[in-house]
Every structure is written in C-alpha cells, then in structure tokens.
Amino acid sequence: MKYYYVLLLTLLIVSCNSNQQKSSSSNKETPQLSTAQDSVPEGWYNETLTPYTGKDKAEKNMISQMNTYNQALLRGDINNASLYIYPDVIKYCKKYYPELSDRAIIQTLYKDMSEMYHTLKTTYDEKGIDYNIIVSNITNRVADKEYIIITFEVVGVLTQGEKCIHDNPETNIGVSHNKGKNWTFLALTDDVPNILRMRFDEEIINKIMNY
C-alpha cells in the first residue's frame, strides 16, 4: 500500500535529521510535528479529521472490526489480521498460485506490509508521534439478501499533542455475510470486480462499483 512510502517521507520530514532514514529512526529526541502547509508532504493536510462513527449497528460493527484489523497490522500480527481478509481474495489468488497453501498466500500478501507498518509504528511511538488509520467516510452501501457490502475510505493520521496531519483517503470494501454482524475487507483494486464475481451477480457488482 502507498501508506508506508508516504509515511516514511513524513517521518523523514518530522525527524530531527531528515537526511538519512537510519539516523532518523535511531534519533530519540522528540521532533516537532509541523502543521504549516508548506512543510507538510504532498498529499497530506494539516487538519484534524473526525472519524466516521456509523449510522447503525452494521456500520458500527464494520468500523470496529476494521480498526481491529488495522491495529493487528500495525502490531505485525498477521494471524489476527488474517481473520478479516475477505476469503474470496485467497481463492482468487489460488487461481494464479495453485501450489501455495492459504497460509502461504496470506504470508505473501501481508508479511512485508505488516512488518513495515509495525516498524514504522514503533519508530513513531519512540518519537512521541501517534500514527493511526481511521475510517473517514462511507461512500456506498449495497444489500443482497444476507449480505451487506460497504465501500468506505480510510486515511492515515499523524498526531503529536494538538498537532495533526492526515493523508489522502484510500478506498476499501467491507463485506458482511450475516447482515452486518461480522466483516471482512479488501482494498479497492482493478482485481476487485473479478473477486466479487466469485460470489455476486453483475447487478450487485455494478451497484458496488457504481458502474
């Protein structure tokens, strides 16, 4: 995902030494998180965002479980993060890598990203900067029998004291098979329509994708 690379750039900017990643990671002096727009990286904004809280139980469950998923990634906890992976993602990948087990596919998809998130989160924590990923908006909602499919945006947020900056939103999709009680997730990519076709008909996919 793009977050790691953009956040790394931000880390270099807010660090006491912005010339080398290694020295900025080891420097224990707490930097000041500048919120002057001319010192904020491109694609980041110096405003405080209020997380979207959901308008009903289904949306609240989705947000809570997305937060749990993100926190697991930030801890480097692939086992718990994998509980929230939309299962057809694994089936879709096995079409191209039939020799891999489900576990191997999960490791391939998430190991490097989770390790990068965890390293980045640890480095920010050491410098007194909080990094979090929040659900900022819900843009679409489709129901199909027992299923609820929600398209939503997440943003990365950096906070130090009263200062706060956030990046551009990224779009994700949440799928519940039991009317909003339990949720799994996938990022919105070019593969999503084909992944959704493994379970939903074209009419539902068109509604989800806003075709």
Beta-bridged to residue 137, according to DSSP, are 153
Q: Where are the alpha helices (DSSP H) in 97-132?
A: 102-126
The pLDDT score that the predictor gives to residue 121 is 85
Among residues 189, 151, 143, 129, the alpha carbon closest in space to that of 7 is found at 129
The pLDDT score that the predictor gives to residue 25 is 39
Tokens of 139: 């843009």
The pLDDT score that the predictor gives to residue 20 is 33
DSSP state for residue 30 in the 8-state scheme: P
> Class assignment of domain 2-15+52-209?
alpha beta
Ramachandran region, residue 54 (left: φ > 0; alpha: ψ -120 to 50; beta: rest): left
Block residue for tokens 């001319």:
38
The pLDDT score that the predictor gives to residue 9 is 40
The domain segmentation of the chain, as residue ranges, is 2-15+52-209
| Nearest-angstrom CA–CA distance, 133 and 7 | 12
The pLDDT score that the predictor gives to residue 81 is 92
| Nearest-angstrom CA–CA distance, 44 and 107 | 30
DSSP, collapsed to helix, strand or coil, labels residue 29 as: coil
Among residues 76, 48, 205, 73, the alpha carbon closest in space to that of 136 is found at 48
In order along its 211 residues, the chain shows pLDDT tens digits of 444 434 444 343 333 222 333 333 344 343 456 655 556 777 788 888 899 999 999 999 999 999 999 999 888 899 999 999 999 999 999 999 999 999 999 988 888 888 888 888 888 899 899 989 999 999 999 999 999 999 999 998 989 888 898 989 999 999 999 999 999 999 999 999 999 999 999 999 999 999 7
CB under 8 Å to 22, separation ≥6 — which residues?
Answer: none
| Nearest-angstrom CA–CA distance, 191 and 147 | 20
C-alpha pair distances (Å), 121 with each of 109, 115, 125: 19, 10, 6
Q: Please, are residues 16 and 26 in contact by the beta-carbon 8 Å criterion?
A: no
Please tell me the pTM assigned to this model.
Answer: 0.80
* Torsion on CA atoms 89, 61, 80, 50, rounded to nearest 10: 100
Among residues 78, 91, 66, the alpha carbon closest in space to that of 187 is found at 66
